[in-house]
């Protein structure tokens, strides 16, 4: 067994490098035809000294990562207006932009105020104005909120830029034990914060529905245990440490229950833990492997992976009727389902031609669309607005995060500067 362990630990890390931290950078790899051009003018700074953050650049980055917008290069701008009086539409028509976003930021007593105005250049009208207030240290988050507002106005669905990511980064220590870091970052990969550092593996990070807490599996006590942790206070609580497997925590939509996989009674099965009383209920009892539970948005059923049909497929367990029905039929391998908030778009790891891709399964039609073209894709996680899927893959021998739009077509990578990154979890909408 020792050899098995060694191989398991070493293989995925073989090409990793020693790293102090794992900041993510963005590389857009595949675009869509003619995204909507939008000019984001650098926001006017109405405070002392220099603006703490280039908010327009943050917004530009958000738009570029959405794949639906093409931010205009600042060098092409013929003016730098910051109020409606200073806007001359011909300047913006001349550079073929459809929309123009201007704004102002100021700070007083540690609070930053951002105001913005959005103009439709073709119709020559202001179409949106608004503002956000928050701690000056959260300047980037305020910028993401402005981007969310603009995205929602133009696309008709809520933006998901003011959200955060959890991921596990692994730094290999040659000849020693590796470093595992549970990291929290903004949706653009900026401002990474290490929540937990361990020389033992950290797995399956997941979010509570209100985005205030997380749960994960840590081997820090030399065996797997499920923990929950409050983000604001760092307070954490060990929920399980049963003999055998303790894995795949998944928070119910009402926040009261945690689904998980335990093998304490034999083969791996799905259990529910009532978080108030810590009482456990066993959900599945099959001798096959039942794992990777995830909740339907209505909280009435669970999706999980099982090989009770000989090959791993997605099944649905109805909590009221206790019926189990098989969901996926296309292909010989569909695992680790995650479901969008619409309750219809499900993403899975799907095997096709001996390769593992992320695929979108439409629960209404039963149709499956393969979204990715890389080979070893895993751990899909859907943005709270259902527009993008974040997943882990390999690039140049390193574990990186990548994203693809649910419609397919638009892709970008978020490689860490150093080390391997895996198991991304996109947060729900953050309570404002």
Please give the residues from 38 up to 67 whose contact with other proteins meets the rule CB under 8 A: none
Told to check if 34 binds other proteins by CB under 8 A, we report yes
Q: Which is nearer to other proteins, 79 or 409 (CB)?
A: 409
Among 384, 399, 424, 428, interactor with other proteins by CB under 8 A:
399
Chain residues 59-118 in contact with other proteins, contact rule CB under 8 A: none
Cβ atoms < 10 Å from Cβ of 122? 12
Closest among 107, 78, 110 to 94, alpha carbons compared: 78
| Contacts to other proteins from residues 231-270, by CB under 8 A | 243-245, 247-248, 261, 263, 266-268
Token pair, residue 105, equals 């930021």
Residue that the structure tokens 């220099």 belong to: 50
Cα gap 126→13, rounded to integer Å = 52
Nearest to 315 by CA among 324, 336, 198: 324
Least distance (Å) from other proteins to the CB of residue 336?
Answer: 6
Span near other proteins by CB under 8 A; candidates 20-28, 229-237, 275-283, 373-381: 373-381
Out of 379, 385, 387, 427, name the contact with other proteins by CB under 8 A.
Answer: 379
Kindly state the smallest distance separating residue 173's Cβ from other proteins, in Å: 16
For other proteins, the closer of residues 282 and 311 by Cβ is 311
In the complex, the smallest distance separating the C-beta of residue 326 from other proteins, rounded to whole angstroms, is 5
Task: Write the binding mask 304 to 343 for other proteins: x where contact by CB under 8 A, - elsewhere.
Answer: -xxxxxxxxx------------x--x--xx-xx-------
Kindly list the strands in the beta sheet with 355-362, ordered across the sheet, starting from the edge strand earlier in the chain: 334-339, 345-352, 355-362, 368-370
| Min dist. Cβ of residue 255 to other proteins (A) | 24
Stretch touching other proteins by CB under 8 A, among 20-28, 127-135, 136-144, 399-407: 399-407
User: Binding other proteins by CB under 8 A: which of 291, 301, 372, 427?
Assistant: 291
Of 117 and 377, nearer to other proteins (C-beta) is 377
Question: x/- binding map, residues 149-188, to other proteins, per CB under 8 A?
Answer: ----------------------------------------
* DSSP 3-state of 139: helix
Least distance (Å) from other proteins to the CB of residue 112?
34
Buried b (16+ CB within 10 A) or exposed e, 379-406: bbbbbbbbbbbbbbbbeeebbbbbbbbb
* Least separation in angstroms between CB 369 and other proteins: 9
Q: Hey, how many other C-beta atoms are within 10 angstroms of the C-beta on 15?
A: 13
Least Å distance, CB 141 to other proteins, is 29
Phi first, then psi, for residue 415 (nearest 5°) are -75, 145
Task: Answer whether 335's CB lies under 8 Å from 348's CB.
Answer: yes
CB of 388 to other proteins, least distance (A): 14
Q: Using the 8-state DSSP alphabet, how is residue 430 labeled? A: P
Least Cβ distance, residue 310 to other proteins (angstroms):
4
Spatial CB neighbours of 405, under 8 Å, sequence gap ≥ 6? 32, 67, 387, 388, 389, 411
Nearer to other proteins, 379 or 427 (CB): 379
Closest among 382, 375, 376 to 361, alpha carbons compared: 382
Query: By the 8 A CB rule, do 22 and 169 touch?
Result: yes
């Amino acid at each position: 067994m020792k050899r098995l362990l060694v191989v398991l630990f070493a293989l995925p890390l073989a090409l990793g490098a020693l790293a102090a931290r794992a900041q993510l950078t963005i590389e857009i790899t595949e675009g869509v035809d003619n995204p909507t051009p939008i000019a984001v003018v650098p926001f006017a700074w109405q405070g002392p000294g220099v603006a703490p953050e280039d908010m327009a650049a943050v917004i530009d980055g958000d738009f570029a990562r959405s794949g639906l917008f093409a931010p205009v290069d600042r060098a092409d701008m013929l003016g730098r207006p910051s109020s409606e009086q200073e806007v001359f539409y011909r300047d913006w028509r001349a550079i073929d932009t459809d929309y123009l976003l201007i704004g102002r930021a100021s700070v007083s007593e540690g609070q930053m105020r951002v105001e913005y105005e959005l103009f439709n250049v073709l119709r020559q009208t202001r179409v949106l104005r608004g503002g956000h207030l928050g701690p000056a240290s959260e300047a980037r988050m305020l910028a993401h909120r402005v981007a969310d507002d603009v995205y929602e106005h133009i696309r008709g669905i809520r933006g998901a830029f003011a959200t955060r990511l959890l991921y596990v980064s692994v730094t290999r220590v040659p000849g020693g034990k590796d470093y595992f870091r549970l990291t929290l970052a903004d949706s653009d990969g900026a401002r990474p914060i290490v929540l937990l550092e361990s020389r033992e593996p950290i797995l399956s990070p997941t979010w509570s529905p209100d985005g205030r807490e997380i749960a994960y599996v840590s081997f820090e006590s030399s065996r797997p245990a499920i923990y929950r942790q409050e983000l604001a206070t760092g307070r954490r609580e060990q929920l399980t440490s049963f003999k055998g497997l303790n894995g795949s925590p998944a928070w119910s939509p009402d926040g009261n229950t945690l689904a998980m996989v335990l093998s304490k009674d034999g083969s791996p099965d799905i259990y529910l833990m009532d978080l108030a009383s810590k009482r456990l209920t066993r959900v599945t009892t099959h001798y096959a492997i039942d794992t990777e539970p995830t909740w339907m948005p209505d909280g009435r059923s669970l999706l999980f992976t099982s090989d009770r049909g000989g090959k791993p497929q997605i099944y649905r367990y109805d909590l009221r009727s206790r019926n189990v029905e098989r969901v996926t039929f296309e292909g010989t391998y569909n695992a680790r389902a995650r479901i969008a908030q619409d309750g219809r778009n499900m993403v899975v790891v799907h095997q096709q031609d001996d390769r593992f891709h992320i695929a979108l399964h439409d629960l209404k039609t039963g149709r499956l669309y393969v979204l990715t073209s890389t080979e070893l894709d895993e751990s899909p996680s859907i943005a709270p607005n259902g527009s993008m899927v974040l997943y882990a893959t390999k690039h140049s021998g390193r574990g990186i995060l990548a994203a693809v739009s649910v419609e397919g077509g638009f892709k970008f990578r978020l490689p860490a500067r150093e080390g391997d990154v895996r198991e991304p979890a996109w947060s729900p909408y953050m309570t404002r």
